Chain A
Amino acid sequence: MTEPLTTPAHIAQSIGLTTEEVFVGHHAGAAKAMRLENVTVTFGGRAAVRGVTFDAYQREVTALIGPSGSGKTTLLRALNRMHDTVRSAAVTGTVMLGDTDVYGRSTDPTLLRSRVGMVFQRPNPFPTMSIYENAVAGLRFNGVRKKSLLDEAAESSLVAAALWDSVRDRLKVHASTLSGGEQQRLCIARALAVEPEVLLMDEPTSALDPIATKRIEELIGELKDRVTIIIVTHNMQQAMRVSDRCAFLLMGEDRTGELIEFNSTSKLFSEPDDPRTLDYINGRFG
């Protein structure tokens, strides 16, 4: 079949589904992309973050904010089961991705990670691969081999990451020739190519210069229709700029992080419910 796979009917037909089946998942009342209930992460018995409950809504950007050490990154990494490889780590509570129990017995972590992507603090493109190969790496890992699908996903994700125009003529070039900001956008494209439902971002701009940071913040706004974004940031202004809702975490006296307040961004930064949130906003602690 030489027609491009751009219409739902075509795609549905090529993979043997009906058009209804293709769209059911997107509509089944899932206004909440991810639900967290009483989530606790412990390392060797000691809790790093405890009792977190909030929801991340579809087509929104949810930010995890708070001073360093409050467990934001630990919590984020629990959402795509990155702690599975750490022997001493244990995650309790409930994490739901749509209808799927993320930590359920029948849920495969490897398969889960194709639905929940992650972008890291320091850009980590694969240095031995070209730009194109980086972009399609996730697809290849998940067993996709059809060239037309790979090409299409690569172009779509590179366009979405605002990288297509500058790299379209040098797709075979090694990824390490890109600048820091471009590399991070390549990592975003790489994560997007797999078409995850949720994209986790762990302080994605903290290693970049202000201009690159601004570009990525603009990108986040453009992307949220396509993927639900949960972003960890220690930069309050960034949270204000990009997020729709914020979850404020703080480390208690027992050195365990707790969710202090979860609210829409505008409310949290103007009239927070909790006095500790107010203190944080006013810069009383870093």
Chain B
Amino acid sequence: MSISGSPSPGTARRTWRLAVPDRTYRILLGVAGGIFAALLIAFVVAMATQAVPAFSKLGVSFLWGSNWDPAHNHFGVLPFAVGTIETTVIAVALAVPIGLGTALALAYLAPRRLRAPLSTAVELLAAVPSVVYGLWGLVAVAPLFRTTVEPQLTSVLGWTGLLGGPNQGVGLLLAGVILFIMVLPTMVAISRDVLAAVPHDQVEGAMALGATRWQVLRKVIVPGARVGLLGAFTLATGRALGETVAVALVIGNSAHLAPSLKANAGTIPSLIVSSFGEASGTQLNVLFAAALVLLVVGIGVNALARVFVRSVKRSGAASVTVA
């Protein structure tokens, strides 16, 4: 590494000629940065243009139509919207408590020397490709669900009316659980960071009053981190909403509004990926429209999550005064 200016005149001249004037440099950088914003805009525009024909031909009602039958020109996407929501709810309902418990363990409770390696291990869960999750879920976990988990759950919770129908293994429930595993690392990583960032003098203040360890965690640390935890929750939800491949492999792919959690179903991403190949005309436009909805929701949820997480970093957890 050489800093121009010190070597012999010959080399210096060569370096100057390759140098770009400062103004050009700044413009170049600005363009590079601007590409990101431009991409995002192009994204939405491109998707919208392809989706518009669907709206112009079918109006808006197809968004809550419950009949998906492309052969007869019925394009109701409601079953898939419901499936998306149901799988996301299952995933997040599991990820929040277990993720929070794990994050507390990693931030405060596990043996000190194990904290870093165990945190890395949990984060590695995020590195597994989603298609591998799908394959594993389909071949390894689904039989387990079919033979053990679903029968047990039905005998315990059958009275809720949510667990009717045969035990197939694949279906909404499995998709929800696989999604839970996939969003857990996100939930844990962010939660752990915000929990550990709660100022230590508050912890000491609580201790000095005669609080037990759990009381300190529950009444001081978790409330102190709640804005960041909200961000983690939002990000996890966003990730669950948009996950495609793993869900498509384990959800059973049905176009009917699922009457039970054990039934085959579909989500909006799984719908798009499974019918895109053969779709044309209006159906294709509808799929684009569905993708547009997915995009807008994804952007919205992500933006919200970043706002939460950013505000923690900016103000410092000590002065959070969110009522």
Interface residues of A (CB under 8 A from B): 80, 82, 85, 87, 110-114, 117-118, 120, 122, 124-129, 137-138, 140-142, 174, 176-177, 187, 190-191, 194
Query: How many Å from the CB of B220 to the closest CB on chain A?
Result: 6
Cα distance A224–B74 in the bound complex, in angstroms: 82
Interface of B is mostly: helix
Interface residues of B (CB under 8 A from A): 112, 199, 201-202, 204-212, 215, 219-220, 223-224, 226, 318-321, 323
Query: How many Å from the CB of B249 to the closest CB on chain A?
Result: 43
A residues within 8 A CB of B205? 120, 124-126, 187, 190
Contact (Cβ within 8 A) B320 A82: no
Contact (Cβ within 8 A) B321 A127: yes
* A82-B208, A194-B210 known; A124+B215 contact, CB < 8 A: no
Cα distance A118–B210 in the bound complex, in angstroms: 10
Please give me the residue from chain B that is nearest to A174 by CB atom.
B321
Number of residue pairs A-B, CB distance < 8 angstroms: 77
12 inter-chain pairs at a CB distance below 8 angstroms, sorted by A residue, are: A82-B207, A113-B210, A114-B209, A114-B210, A124-B204, A126-B206, A127-B318, A128-B320, A129-B223, A137-B206, A137-B209, A138-B211
Query: How many Å from the CB of A241 to the closest CB on chain B?
Result: 25
Interface of A is mostly: mixed
Contact (Cβ within 8 A) B202 A113: no
8 Å CB contact of B319 from A120, A126, A176, A187: A176
Contact (Cβ within 8 A) A120 B201: yes
Contact (Cβ within 8 A) B201 A122: yes
Please give me the residue from chain A that is nearest to B220 by CB atom.
A126
* A122-B201, A126-B202, A127-B224 known; A137+B219 contact, CB < 8 A: yes
B residues within 8 A CB of A125? 205
A residues within 8 A CB of B210? 110-114, 138, 141-142, 194
The 6 closest A-B pairs by CB, nearest first: A138-B209, A114-B210, A118-B208, A141-B211, A113-B210, A128-B223
B residues within 8 A CB of A190? 205, 209
Contact (Cβ within 8 A) A141 B320: no
Contact (Cβ within 8 A) A128 B224: yes
Contact (Cβ within 8 A) A127 B319: yes
* A127-B224, A127-B321 known; A120+B209 contact, CB < 8 A: no
